[in-house]
Amino acid sequence: MTILSVGTRPADTAVPHGLRVGVLALQGDFREHAHVLRELGASVELVRRPEELDRIDGLVIPGGESSVMDKLARTFGLAEPLRAAITAGLPVYGTCAGLIMLADTILDGMNGQQSLGGLDIAVRRNAFGSQTASFETDLEIPALGEKPVHAVFIRAPVVETVGAKATALATLDDGRCVAVEQGNLLGTSFHPEITGEYRFHQYFLQKLVAAAR
């Protein structure tokens, strides 16, 4: 599988001065998300402590191990403040493990695993098998324009149920949902942060701008 490096900053990106995006930095590929967001002109805060939530306008939850993120979030006292922030309307974008963290229901979670919730969806972890079963495909996502999104799936979850409050943004050829949004929340099964695909992060930044008005 070919993983592309992150491309150059798009010329049409406009991020208001002072807008600050947090990236949950407990575990996973948070550095890649931080790099993309900085390339798009955002100020980035790596979030590891509850008090850091007060300094951000939105949050990205990266890919990684959702069960480990859950345990670390509770250990560092972040879980409850994160749930409260999501309920209060904080824009949040989760990729892969981050999508699992945002799901209201995890169908095959580890013993005792909890999610932050917010997205009216049910997800299944590692829905495509082990890391050796990782794959790439192009997805039609009308919300992001006519050009297909090249998506990389690495031990990815799948959205098995999309509730009435959520909206599917992308599905595979077999109909399984792999991108979803609900108000200020956005989630993808795949990893745009490692393919040079900026449009999901731009789409998320638009949510932050709208929420800040």
At 161, list the tokens.
Answer: 């149920």
Catalytic pick among 32, 181, 191, 197: 191
**Eight-state DSSP code of residue 10:** P
Catalytic residue among 181, 193, 197, 201: 193
Cα radius of gyration rounded to whole Å, the chain:
16
Q: Are strands 119-124 and 158-162 parallel, antiparallel or unpaired?
A: antiparallel
DSSP letters spanning 170-192:
EE-TTS-EEEEEETTEEEESS-G
Does 191 qualify as catalytic in the annotation?
Answer: yes
| 177 catalytic residue (yes or no) | no
Query: Helices 199-212 and 30-39: crossing angle, nearest 10°?
Result: 70
**Which two tokens mark 189?**
């099964």
48 within 8 A of 64, measured Cβ to Cβ: no
Residues in the chain: 213
Active site residue 160: no
Annotated catalytic residue: which of 96, 177, 197, 201? 96
Cβ–Cβ under 8 Å, residues 168 and 161 = no
- Residues 202 and 42: beta-carbon distance below 8 Å: no
- In the chain, count H helices and then E strands: 5, 12
Q: Which residues are catalytic?
A: 96, 191, 193
